[in-house]
Amino acid sequence: MKMIQKLLNLVIPPITVAFVFLILPFLFVFKFINFILRHLFPEKMKGKVVLITGASSGIGEHLAYEYAKNGAYLVLVARREESLRKVAEKASHLGSPDVLVVAADVSLVDQCKRFIDEAVNHFGRLDHLVCNAGIGSYCALEDIPDVTNFLPVMDVNFWGSVYPTYFAIPHLKKCKGKIIVNASVAGWVVAPRGNVYGASKAALIHFYDNLRIEVAPEISIVVVSPGFVESEITQGKQLTKKGEVDVDEGIKKMLGRIPTESAVDCHSICSGL
């Protein structure tokens, strides 16, 4: 047995390295060709049904406008119904034939099932699921008085995408639909004091990279990892160490010094249109 283990230790590493160097060029070429084709032949969205979580502001709001301009039916989900209705009104003016507003909390599994069911019952189908809802947090772990205060970060950022995905998959398969996930560059890079937030985004990336294999070819999955984009998060709205969502003036001032991309410029990349 020891001889076999030694042999494997000698053989497996060079085989792995060779495999990586051989497969990476093919992956690069495939992604490049796919990128070109998507821009030359964008998906026709007229008449398709798109559900967007976190649609009351920021990237989610402008995603709604982008889909509306392309003639898609919309289902807008967020907790703030009044803000959603303002977005829905503008989306209607921009070209969406019908906009359904659903006030819901993505961190609650029953509410996720409800808004997926309402979307399908209203429109009869679901073509795109855009998992965009998120909450920010920026705090050193040792500064948190109760570590469970940060449970909402994972509940919203991770489970708030997984729950609706779970209920949407059967409907998306019927239409050969698409899942678009708004992750973050924080899921790839190390950011001091951004530990829980970064972990929630890294979990998203890993989950959907694996799910892509499970649901292909019936459903395609796009994971977007933007940097700093204008939103309530970059305006200082965070989950504080006390477990309350509030505007942190210190973080707002700090983030104000960092160049951010406008949500208007970011929406077309996130939508995959």
Known catalytic residues are 197
What the block records as the tokens of 138 is: 């920026």
CB 234 within 8 A of CB 207: no
- 3-state secondary structure (DSSP) of residue 155: helix
What the block records as the tokens of 178 is: 């698409």
Tokens 């040792």 correspond to what residue? 142
CB 166 within 8 A of CB 116: no
Tokens 């008085």 correspond to what residue? 145
Which residue, among 203, 256, 193, 201, has the nearest Cα to 230 in the 3D structure? 256
CB 171 within 8 A of CB 50: no
- In the chain, the amino acid numbered 158 is F
For helices 160-174 and 195-215, the axis angle rounded to 10 degrees is 20
Please count the other Cβ atoms lying within 10 Å of the Cβ belonging to residue 77: 30
